[in-house]
Chains A and B, each alone.
Chain A
Amino acid sequence: MASHGIEIRNLYKIFGPKGHKYVDAVRGGMSKTELNEKYGHVLGLKDINISMPAGKIQVVMGLSGSGKSTLIRHINRLIEPTVGEVIYEGQDVCKMSKAELLQFRRMKTAMVFQKFALLPHRTVLANTLYGLEIQRVPHKEAEERARRWISRVGLEGFEDHYPNQLSGGMQQRVGLARALTNDADILLMDEAFSALDPLIRMDMQGVLLDIQQELHKTVVFITHDLDEALRLGDRIAILRDGAVIQQGTGQDIVLNPQDDYIAEFVKEVNRGRVIRADTVMKPGEPVDLTIESGALLEDVAKRLTETGASELTVVDSTGKPLGQLTLHDTIGAMVTPS
């Protein structure tokens, strides 16, 4: 179990030869457009503060150009920050020496890419053990560990195939196996499922959730898809023009969108799959029909319609009643307020 979260503090990234010069101006409120037009520098990230919880999935969501891919590349410092800190296990990744950084990338992080980025000249097996090869793990052990993960992601029998013999979904399974074989605490996923067909994407999300339940890695997941963010994210940060405009649980964001931009986003969301029973329940007399705390409204509605009841009781794991939910309240909460 990963016991450390990732703290991102006051992180700025300004692209261009003299990024440092403009940090103060940006702090003082200069806009992205002004910076670009007047000084020819591009504002990548602006005052990012996120504390990513240990052993959970932190989603960073935003549309293209919002800086989300830039942000994830600061965690393993594929991109140098202009100013700011990325703290992991009490150490600032941004201040590591070259050797320390290589060691950090080898032992603590693994990454999955939008375009898979597999090594085309290597077989599935040789791709999967790449991280261990870089760590100089003896070949026999590396191969054993790689084979385990290849079968775990459902690619048994494809060990000797080359990446371009595989479909996109299968290639990304290789990407995932390659990252997991590293056995690193931090798993960085940069739009890992965005290039896949919707059905295969759902499938891969399931694979990831399954594996996460077992491994509890600190996952940073980048996506532009709100449904994906809500399905996977224990916490979600929404990025726009390089700044975080809201962060919290999926439910927080759906129920209390901070501004019109986010409200517009969450309008189309299936609220039944995001909002939990605990949020909507009201005090009242317990009835026989129960559902466990944390259940989604969709499950509540299903339970009610299946049994033909009009009310149920939300209970905690010991069976203690917490509150009441009627069919009317449930349906009402699932409908997007206009």
Chain B
Amino acid sequence: MWDWYEFPSIGRTDLRDLKKAGDEAFKAFSRAYGESLENFFQPLLSFLVWFEKLLINSPWPVVMAVIALLVWAGSRSWQLVLATLASLALIGYLGMWENTMYTLALVSVATLVCIVIGIPFGILMSKSDRMQAIVTPVLDFMQTVPAFVYLIPIILLLGLGKIPGLIAVCVYAIPPIVRLTNLGIRLVDKDVLEAADAFGASPRQKLWTVQMPLALPNIFAGVNQTIMMALAMVVVAALIGVRGLGMEVLKAVNNQYITLGFMNGLAIMAIAIVFDRTSQKFGKRLQKHSEIIHG
């Protein structure tokens, strides 16, 4: 008799064997390659640690001055510089300086990694429809699979710590920059490209003199999104032992410390706003040539 109420599944024993087989296979892979992977990421780890130390061991006025300068260089807005200094002062006064520096270091390095890997991928995608067809579903996967799921293999391979945290952040944060680089290049005006062709520009010359400059505003929107998503991941990264504001939020959740939770949450938000406004204003300035229009 066909059972309409219970879905015909493969059965408990088979299922257990299936899971076991998958786990065993991955564990074998991890045993075989875990160490070489760790060695592979060693330079990245050293860089991250060096950057953290730099931020934490430098006198706080120097760090604040450098951040204020960077914000000014990006946005040319003194209001934003003042707001940045005020939030940093408050963060420091409330005892979150060190954790903020950890988070800042993680997000900066993650963004850098995303740019270095993401932009070339975006360029490759824009050059070939096949590449686009292959990469797009991978990006969809990276953005939709819950972060906790891909944390498992990362932990299995690399254990707890900064590098698995950094990788988790990058997996989640890299799609927008890849997508928007691809889109930006594909949206470049065909007439202008034809002109470059007519003047004998090689594919490389076309990329650097026409496609990249004209795609820059879109690429920059991608960088902005990447930073935002990296910040959104710091709490998840804290789950695998990354120090910083995220760790404090996690502590607050576990112990129902409302004030601690909000303080650190707001500190993350403050950093996010500073990053966002600065990069948006910088992106806008890149398009300045298109704003002034003949009247």
Name the one of A103, A135, A166, A182 contacting B294, with C-beta atoms under 8 angstroms: A166
Smallest CB–CB gap between B175 and chain A, Å? 26
Q: Is B194 interfacial (CB-CB < 8 Å)?
A: yes
Question: How far is A110 from B195 in the complex, measured between Cα atoms in Å?
Answer: 9
Q: Is B214 interfacial (CB-CB < 8 Å)?
A: yes
Given A119-B192, A133-B209, answer yes or no on A105-B290 (Cβ-Cβ < 8 Å): no
Given A113-B191, A134-B205, answer yes or no on A120-B290 (Cβ-Cβ < 8 Å): yes
Q: Is A61 interfacial (CB-CB < 8 Å)?
A: no
Q: Give the total of B residues in contact with A, Cβ under 8 Å.
A: 22
B290 & A102 in contact (Cβ 8 Å cutoff)? no
- Chain B residues whose C-beta falls within 8 Å of the C-beta of A121 in the assembled complex: 213-214, 289-290
Which chain A residue lies CB-closest to B191?
A117
A130 & B194 in contact (Cβ 8 Å cutoff)? no
Q: Is A109 interfacial (CB-CB < 8 Å)?
A: yes
Question: How far is A106 from B202 in the complex, measured between Cα atoms in Å?
Answer: 10
Which chain A residue lies CB-closest to B195?
A117
Q: Is A3 interfacial (CB-CB < 8 Å)?
A: no
Which chain B residue lies CB-closest to A98?
B202
A134 & B293 in contact (Cβ 8 Å cutoff)? no
**Contact string, A227-269, partner B, CB cutoff 8 A, digits 1/0?**
0000000000000000000000000000000000000000000
Q: Is A164 interfacial (CB-CB < 8 Å)?
A: yes
Question: How far is A76 from B197 in the complex, measured between Cα atoms in Å?
Answer: 9
- Chain B residues whose C-beta falls within 8 Å of the C-beta of A106 in the assembled complex: 199-200
B197 & A117 in contact (Cβ 8 Å cutoff)? no
User: Would you list which residues of chain A between 95 and 123 have a CB under 8 Å from chain B?
Assistant: 101-107, 109-111, 113, 115, 117-121
Q: Is B133 interfacial (CB-CB < 8 Å)?
A: no
Given A121-B214, A165-B293, A167-B294, answer yes or no on A135-B192 (Cβ-Cβ < 8 Å): no
Question: How far is A118 from B192 in the complex, measured between Cα atoms in Å?
Answer: 6
Given A117-B191, A121-B213, A164-B294, answer yes or no on A111-B289 (Cβ-Cβ < 8 Å): no
- Chain A residues whose C-beta falls within 8 Å of the C-beta of B205 in the assembled complex: 134
- Chain A residues whose C-beta falls within 8 Å of the C-beta of B214 in the assembled complex: 119-121
Counted as pairs of residues, one from A and one from B, with CB atoms less than 8 Å apart, the total is 76
Q: Is B10 interfacial (CB-CB < 8 Å)?
A: no
The main secondary structure of chain A at its interface with chain B is: mixed
Name the one of B209, B210, B289 contacting A162, with C-beta atoms under 8 angstroms: B289
Smallest CB–CB gap between A188 and chain B, Å? 7
Q: Is A30 interfacial (CB-CB < 8 Å)?
A: no
Smallest CB–CB gap between B207 and chain A, Å? 13
Question: How far is A109 from B194 in the complex, measured between Cα atoms in Å?
Answer: 14
Question: How far is A237 from B9 in the complex, measured between Cα atoms in Å?
Answer: 76
User: Would you list which residues of chain A between 65 and 109 have a CB under 8 Å from chain B?
Assistant: 76, 78, 101-107, 109
Smallest CB–CB gap between A97 and chain B, Å? 13
- Chain A residues whose C-beta falls within 8 Å of the C-beta of B293 in the assembled complex: 164-165
Question: How far is A133 from B200 in the complex, measured between Cα atoms in Å?
Answer: 10
User: Would you list which residues of chain B between 196 and 228 have a CB under 8 Å from chain A?
Assistant: 196-202, 205, 209-210, 213-214
Q: Is A131 interfacial (CB-CB < 8 Å)?
A: yes
A109 & B213 in contact (Cβ 8 Å cutoff)? no
A109 & B198 in contact (Cβ 8 Å cutoff)? yes
**Contact string, B175-199, partner A, CB cutoff 8 A, digits 1/0?**
0000000000000010110111111
Question: How far is A107 from B200 in the complex, measured between Cα atoms in Å?
Answer: 8
Question: How far is A53 from B213 in the complex, measured between Cα atoms in Å?
Answer: 39
Q: Is B292 interfacial (CB-CB < 8 Å)?
A: yes
Name the one of B192, B199, B210 contacting A111, with C-beta atoms under 8 angstroms: B199
B199 & A105 in contact (Cβ 8 Å cutoff)? yes
Q: Which of B192, B196, B202, B292 has the most CB of A within 10 A?
A: B192
- Chain A residues whose C-beta falls within 8 Å of the C-beta of B201 in the assembled complex: 134
Smallest CB–CB gap between B206 and chain A, Å? 9
A120 & B200 in contact (Cβ 8 Å cutoff)? no
Question: How far is A234 from B191 in the complex, measured between Cα atoms in Å?
Answer: 29
7 closest residue pairs by CB, A with B:
A106-B200, A105-B200, A117-B195, A111-B198, A117-B191, A162-B289, A131-B199
Please list 25 pairs of residues, one from A and one from B, whose beta carbons are closer than 8 Å in the complex, sorted by A's number. Answer: A78-B194, A78-B197, A106-B199, A111-B198, A111-B199, A113-B191, A113-B198, A117-B191, A117-B194, A119-B195, A120-B192, A120-B289, A121-B289, A130-B196, A131-B199, A131-B200, A134-B199, A162-B292, A164-B293, A164-B294, A165-B292, A165-B294, A166-B294, A182-B199, A188-B198
Question: A residues engaging B (CB < 8 A)?
Answer: 76, 78, 101-107, 109-111, 113, 115, 117-121, 130-131, 133-135, 162, 164-167, 182, 188
